[in-house]
Structure 1
Amino acid sequence: MQEAKPDGIIFADPGFYPSLRKHLPDIPIHISTQANVLNYEAVKFWRDLGVSRVILARELSLKEIEQISQKVPDIELEVLVHGSLCVSYSGRCLLSDYLSNNERKANQGNCSQPCRWRYKMVAEGNPDEQYEITEDEKGTYIMNPKDIALIRYIPDLIDAGVCSFKVEGRTKSMYYASLVAKSYRKMIDAYYSGKEPDVTELYNELTYAGNRGFTEGFLLNKPDSSHYNYISGKGNPKSVFLGIITDKISDDTYKISVKNQLKIGENVDFITPESQINTTILEIFDIYGEKIEIANTNAEVVIKFDDGPEYWNKGIIRSKKEEAGVKTETRLHSGTCY
């Protein structure tokens, strides 16, 4: 770890702290959201031990975050702003451990998310008879929260004293991580440049990555029944991740590492860190230079588009499900320190 020189180490178990300080004295230490830090006295405790940043629990309101910042101004605060929410308090759920025979531990970054599973009731003595668990507008559905999406509130969180924003990414694709990071980066940069961002456009862009519907979590109010997804526990993106741009041959021709099947004539979005354009696939060539109609997953191909970005460093291509004729049922309800 000393040789790798990470920017920081995130941990949650207090018993691990002495070893971290002893063996890695020069590397900043951050306390994880899994440690369930909910108030300023807990933040003071970790600050006094030498922790440089606290990733606050997901169950805090904007007012509580601001209070913590005011009471403990000499420590960095980080907040989860995008991704899955846990049905339990941060770091306190043992469902995954129990239902996976201790093989999938939530606090080790490997939660099997049993809160997303479909369940049936079985009457004791009659295991062959299964009953659907149903819900109504009064509640009873407690296991499948929507994903948190706080892009609208980035200015408020910065003003409250937050210096770093956490997004889910460990089990996500490069497409998901890049799309989410790009949207939040635009929001952060707009704040510091004094510009007025198109929040609706940025919010809508996030819907193209997998999600279970969006919620503000605990930031403004305590969650009610509208903060849960009653339809599906799986993320349902409005787009298909088609490929990664690996090299530029000319202004309209690029090498592509294919992630999902693509074909000539397909309308796609060409997305780079600097720009996003809509274009059409005109020609596809395999590694032998032979022209092909369709490129399948994991193929390495060269594609000519009818247009390309003005500037290119790296990028991805995607298609929108509506344009591809794929049915989507997404339903929405409405780090870097400086």
Structure 2
Amino acid sequence: MKKGVLLVNLGSPDSPTPEDVKPYLSEFLMDERVIDVPLWLRTFIVKGIILNTRPKASAEAYQKIWWEEGSPLIVISERLQKKIQQNTDLPVALAMRYGSMTIQKGLQELVDKGVEEVFLMPLYPQFAMATTETILVLAEDIRKEHFPHLKISDLKAFYNREDYIDVLSNSIARHLKGKPYDHLLFSYHGVPERHIRKRDITKSHCKIDKSCCVTPSPAHEYCYRHQCLEVTRLVAEKLNLKEGTYSSSFQSRLGIDPWLQPPTDLTIERMGKNGVQNLAVVTPAFVSDCLETLEEIAMEGQEIFHEVGGKEFTTVPCLNDDDEFVEILSNWINDWATLQAVPV
């Protein structure tokens, strides 16, 4: 069977205008794994409230970070795809979960090249129902409807793979070299607490307290919170960070339901008020810089920090198309292609 690879990232509106942002937000927020409430309520929240108020503000945010070549996330993902393609003989396609670069188009591109077996690679280190799971579910639905003879294998969450931790740690060390910082904040995209409980395969382990994420359990295979905190722990260990000089937080809250704690914006504010003068922030839930890293952290976060007396605010770029990151992704692909050990 001829094999191929499909890289999948989040997505982006086609342009930073309200006209293009609105349908993108609609597709994104109407996903039942993003806002996991009954359809009638999700429709009321998204189409009755958010889409009548948020597209203009979101478009303005996108305009702040938009590149001449287009959406940073799309441009970076395309660069990553091209570099990986140079390291493997398999055809490598790129798709997005939301927006015009659909998973169906990506699979069709591979099928048109004769591919019969696809290695689907969600570009998320940690598993979450609103990221990895929604990609896998949609890909399987598309396969059944349009490509019934296609076989799909998927890359599992790679948050604790040694080679990934090495690359992430190296990137952090390289970008912070020579830059003074008192504290390193690991900011992860937030999710509602109920998402964690819904994906607890034990139905009892995930209490979202100080102990459950550090107590061994089968639940950790699908626990986003555990996987985020584990990345922080492993990187801190790799970089020999001292206790008290690093911490984790969660960004991008939406709605009034309880979300993972502590919130990044309030954490940045608290640190500035408590005398942290030099703060560095890394965002390991994202592999590509995007609105959440370039605008929410690098711009809004910096503004919050300076307003409360902070001095130096440093953001560590995502792995993007870093050559070391390209190498490990390429290795996983080639291992899969030759039926060697790879988490599929």
TM-score tier after normalising by the smaller chain length: under 0.3
Q: Which of the two has higher C-alpha Rg?
A: 1
Higher strand share: 1
Q: Which has the higher helix share?
A: 2
TM-score (norm 1): 0.24
Normalised to the residue count of structure 2, the TM-score between the two structures is 0.24
The higher-RCO structure (CA 8 Å, 6+ apart) is 2
